[in-house]
Amino acid sequence: MQILLADDHDMVRETISAYLEREGGAVVTSVNDLDTALHQIKTNGPFDLVLLDYNMPGMNGLDGLGKARALNEAGGVAILSGSAPNTIAQEAIDAGAIGFLPKTMGAKSLVNAVRFMVSGETYVPVAFMQEDNSKQEHPLAQKLSQRENEVLSGLCRGLSNKEIARELDLQEVTIKLHVRTLCRKLDAKNRTQAAMTAKEAGLF
């Protein structure tokens, strides 16, 4: 399998590449933004599968998906995300993505999903979609904006403000403001307590 992985978070790229190479026997080309990904498809593609991080620089929502699909005609393009809600997953599939992969997936599930998509089948984790629906109905979730939920997801994964800012393509000072607002809305003294409150409530 020839896989192109585009994600601006170094640790995510390294971890997923290792999974796919070790467990799936894939040959992975990894880049950190959409423009480089598009260049790789033009010069070295088509790839069996292209994995694009929803929040990396250049994506502009799902615009990047369309650009990658146009270039990688012989292979599928899937969206990868650690924070996008199920509505985005559905929009990605509607826009022609061959799949949607949460970054929280285990190594074996990830490899199986990639093989499934390489074979031409569309993959969306049913459990993720159902879990996300329940999150949206939770009283605490209703108090938060989509961006606040994305920042809170980063807190729950132990990311620093800088890492969250990179993942969401925002300024670090903006993340600090969101964290402050989250602490107030969740009645938490600090970011750690905010994450614990969210996990205990079943939001993440």
d(CA 78, CA 116): 12
The pTM of this model reads 0.65
Which tokens belong to 93? 């599939």
d(CA 154, CA 148): 10
**How large is the average pLDDT for residues 86-110?**
86
Least confident of 23-32, 36-45, 113-122, 129-138: 129-138
**How large is the average pLDDT for residues 121-145?**
68
Q: Could you tell me whether strands 2-6 and 76-81 are parallel, antiparallel, or unpaired per DSSP bridges?
A: unpaired
Helices and strands: H and E segment counts in the chain: 11, 5
pLDDT of residue 110: 87
Pairwise pLDDT comparison (139 vs 144), residue with the higher score: 144
Short-list 138, 143, 88, 117, CA closest to 20: 117
pLDDT of residue 135: 47
Chain centroid offset of residue 111 CA: 16
Determine how many CB atoms are found less than 10 A away from the CB of residue 158.
Answer: 10
Angle subtended at Cα 173 by Cα 154 and Cα 12, rounded to the nearest 5 degrees:
30
Buried b / exposed e across 142-151, counting CB within 10 Å, b at 16+?
Answer: eebeeebbbb
d(CA 110, CA 107): 5
Domains in the chain, start-ordered, CATH in brackets? 2-128 (3.40.50.2300), 138-200 (1.10.10.10)
Mean of per-residue pLDDT scores for the chain: 86
Half-sphere exposure of residue 40, counting CA atoms within 13 Å on the CB side? 22
CA distances from 127 to 9, 46, 47 (A): 25, 31, 28
DSSP string, 103-127: TT--HHHHHHHHHHHHTT--B--HH
Helices 172-185/146-156 angle, 10° precision: 90
**How large is the average pLDDT for residues 106-115?**
87
Which tokens belong to 173? 């000072």
Whether 137 has a pLDDT exceeding 60, the answer reads: no
Contact 13, 20 (CB under 8 A): no
What percent of the chain lies above the pLDDT cut of 70? 91
